Amino acid sequence: MVNWIWLFFIVVSVIAAAANGQIDAVTQAAFDGAKSGVTVSFGLISIMVFWLGMMRIADDAGLLKKLARLLSPVVRLLFPDVPKNHPALGYIMSNLSANLFGLGNAATPMGIKAMQELQKLNPDPQTATPAMCTLLALNTSSITLIPTTLIAIRMNYGSANPTEIVGTTLAATIIATGAAIAADRWYRRRSKSAPPPSINKRKRKIDKTHAVQHPAADSLSAASPGGGTIA
Amino acid sequence: MLELFTRASSWLIPAIIVFIPLYAAFRKVPVYETFVEGAKDGFGTAINIIPHLVGMMVAISMFRASGAMDMMLGAVQPLFDWLHVPSEILPLGILRPLTGAGSLAFTADLIQTHGPDSMIGRIASTIQGSTDTTLYVLTVYFGAIGIRKSRYALKVGLFSDLVGFIAAIMICLYIFG
């Protein structure tokens, strides 16, 4: 996907430049772009170094764990089908609290560990469970407390107030996460009310034929029993 | 409400910066050594972005200079003008869920061209900061455990990106407008 986007930009640029008589400008732009890429990356060093230092202090002081514990009622509510005290819940909490602090590098391994634990509860290892979809939804919209990268870029280009976007970002990210949770709930309920998966949960083998006989059911939820029987 | 918003923006970071070391000191953490130890990772993280950002900024810079960007935006200009939303933002909304480096490069490009304190610069910063790259998260998380059927996960991610995009624009127009 990324390959295609990149190729699209470059190919369309050269064609458009030829049509507009801007070939020289495009050459210049290519080199300027490379230069900006390096400038922006270097500008990120200061904030990244500072912020990751602060976060190590927070981590060593047990603050991330504490935050994770605070999140536990929310997590239990969002993942009703994960048994209490299951290790997956701990990883989910760590993942969410790392995201909250903008620690993408720490959040990803925790998220993957959480997924691995959720996979152990999965009857069909090739199809995502509702809990996995919820965890993914929370990560794609991830609530960010401090958008460190953006603050650094704004500083680089001489903003009078680089942190003025913290409030707007927080508001937008909360709305996006709310939308993700709402959409996730809606799909969850819909896949539960469709006949095959709900019955399928307990009486998988008995319902094998039943599930196959209902191709009219939503293809997304019907995919679960179908794939399960083949595997 | 507006006052509160800008206040929260300027207080949040100093509050965190003073709270973390203070709390850690109470827990007998050697704060300075720990800071330096953790800070070392920051250098590598920033340097690792260089190839991604150079690649994407070259492509976007070319796209703008060739006039292709204006041709593309010209088509949607009337609609965005009618909504009082700068049309330059649109490509960012499309890029954001697809490529993290690409949207970061585009945001940097918008900030460079229009200024960080312009409405476009503020909206772009907010959009870039408020959601993560859905396609990347999906690939990494589900790829790691071999999930082939992601069911409704992609739809949920893209839907929340769209909501976040619209919310970011509306909030910025309201707060900074």
ipTM of the predicted structure? Answer: 0.88
> Is residue A189 within 8 Å of residue A81, measured between CB atoms?
no
Distance CA B4, CA A212 (A): 57
Residue B77 corresponds to which tokens in the numbers above? Answer: 């200009």
For chain A, the maximum distance between any two Cα atoms, rounded to a whole number of angstroms, is: 70
Amino acid at A181: I
Q: Which long-range contacts (CB under 8 A, 24 or more apart) does B32-35 make?
A: B34/A53, B34/A56, B34/A57, B34/A60, B35/A53, B35/A54, B35/A56, B35/A57
pLDDT for B154 beyond 90: yes
- Given this model, what pLDDT does residue A216 score? 35
Give the residue on B whose Cα is nearest the Cα of A178: B160
Amino acid at B148: R
Cβ-defined contact of B53 to A180 (cutoff 8 Å): no
Which residue among B5, B149, B160 sits closest to A177, beta carbon to beta carbon? B160
- Given this model, what pLDDT does residue A69 score? 86
Give tens-digit pLDDT for A169-201.
999 999 999 999 999 999 999 887 764 444 444
CA of A100 vs chain B CAs: smallest distance (Å): 11
Q: Say how many Å lie between the first and final Cα of chain B, rounded.
A: 14
Cβ-defined contact of B5 to A26 (cutoff 8 Å): no
pLDDT band per the 50, 70, 90 thresholds, residue B16: confident
Distance CA A51, CA A56 (A): 9
pLDDT for A228 beyond 60: no
Give me the phi and psi of A215, to 5 degrees please. Answer: -70, -15
Q: In terms of C-beta density within 10 A (0-12 exposed, 13-18 middle, 19 or more buried), how is residue A87 classed?
A: middle
| Measured CA distances, A101 to A96, A106, A115, B167, B176 (Å) | 9, 10, 20, 21, 25
Which residue among A1, A111, A220 sits closest to B152, beta carbon to beta carbon? A220
Which among A30, A28, A15, A25 has a CA at the least distance from the CA of B55? A30
Which of A12-16, A159-163, A166-170, A205-209 is least confident?
A: A205-209
pLDDT for A33 beyond 70: yes
pLDDT for A213 beyond 60: no
Cβ-defined contact of A168 to B147 (cutoff 8 Å): no
For chain B, the maximum distance between any two Cα atoms, rounded to a whole number of angstroms, is: 61
Q: Say how many Å lie between the first and final Cα of chain A, rounded.
A: 29
CA of B146 vs chain A CAs: smallest distance (Å): 6
pLDDT for B58 beyond 90: yes
Helix (H) and strand (E) counts in chain B: 9, 0
- Residues in contact with A110: Cβ distance below 8 Å, sequence separation at least 6, in sequence order: A91, A94, A95, A98
Q: For residue A160, how many other CB atoms are within 10 A of its CB?
A: 9
Cβ-defined contact of A45 to B39 (cutoff 8 Å): no
Which among B104, B108, B82 has a CA at the least distance from the CA of B95? B104
Which of A35-44, A69-78, A201-210 is least confident?
A: A201-210
pLDDT band per the 50, 70, 90 thresholds, residue A149: confident
Residue A21 corresponds to which tokens in the numbers above? Answer: 């008589």
Residue A180 corresponds to which tokens in the numbers above? Answer: 């993700």
Alpha carbons within 13 A on the beta-carbon side of B41: 14
pLDDT for A212 beyond 60: no
Q: Whats the size of chain B, residue-wise? A: 177
Cβ-defined contact of B137 to A139 (cutoff 8 Å): yes
